Amino acid sequence: MTIRHLNCASMNPLAATRMVAHCLLVERPEGLLLVDTGFGAADCADPKRLGRPFRALVRPVLDPAETAVAQVRALGHDPADVTDIALTHLDLDHVGGLADFPAARVHVFADELDAALHPTLREKGRYLDVQRAHGPRWVTHDVPGDEWFGFGSVTALADDVLLIPLQGHTRGHCGVAVRRPDGGWLLHAGDSYFHASEKQSEPAAPYSLRAFQVLMGVDNKRRVANQERLRELQRSHSDEVTVFCAHDASELAVFAVE
């Protein structure tokens, strides 16, 4: 099994320095697994569909070469070999690539799919029906599994891919834990935090980025509590679990192929 760390969407938001969309491509004997998808080919072909407020605030680069499908091909794979996609949540910068893998099973928390399909007025702008118009093969999960380093877990795929409840940024937001080939775990914490310093005991994220997170959080009490739990996970188990978030470019830069 090989795990590759990909950037599937560069963004130059007004509130922060360059952001990436940190995705994983897990090459398993039984098929390829993606964790999150960034933007897709159709987003690059028609940026307008992302909406004017998002484009003005987040300023996505939309380079077709950064899409997951282009990178899967460049690695010598057939996109049809992507059998499964696990999603941290359904915000537009995480699910644009779904349509490039229409046959894949798409694993998501039941609460998150419900939020995207039945958004409140406040949630409406973040979920785009057009990115899901092809009819993804949803596999929803909500059955509690074993405890995982003090967190609840839900088994998404066998024992080596788990969804870890981390609600707050969105209703059904989760982390995706993937067992590393050499032992230990990776935890893709999605948008639980945005800046690498927020993993430390005294986070020092720029004010604008903290304000952005409050603006985007649907349940900020829970979001802040989950950030604290992630810091505790770092303090107690950094030898066994490597945590990273979706958008911090410095976190992506330290990973090679494993």
> Which positions lie near Zn ion, rule CB under 5 A?
91, 93, 191
Minimum distance between the CB of residue 91 and Zn ion, rounded to whole angstroms? 5
Minimum distance between the CB of residue 246 and Zn ion, rounded to whole angstroms? 5
* 3-class DSSP state of 105: strand
Instruction: Enumerate the H helices of the chain as residue ranges.
Output: 41-45, 52-58, 68-74, 92-95, 110-117, 207-216, 220-237, 249-253
Between residues 33 and 95, which has the closer beta carbon with respect to Zn ion? 95
Determine the Cα–Cα distance for residues 122 and 124; give it in Å rounded to an integer. 6
Between residues 20 and 26, which has the closer beta carbon with respect to Zn ion? 20
Minimum distance between the CB of residue 92 and Zn ion, rounded to whole angstroms? 8
Between residues 160 and 251, which has the closer beta carbon with respect to Zn ion? 251
* 3-class DSSP state of 59: coil
Minimum distance between the CB of residue 93 and Zn ion, rounded to whole angstroms? 5
Minimum distance between the CB of residue 89 and Zn ion, rounded to whole angstroms? 8
**DSSP annotation string for 197-250:** GGGSSS----HHHHHHHHHH-SSHHHHHHHHHHHHHHHHHHTTTEEEE-SSBHH
Between residues 55 and 239, which has the closer beta carbon with respect to Zn ion? 55
Give the count of beta carbons closer than 10 Å to the beta carbon of residue 209. Answer: 20
Between residues 123 and 202, which has the closer beta carbon with respect to Zn ion? 123
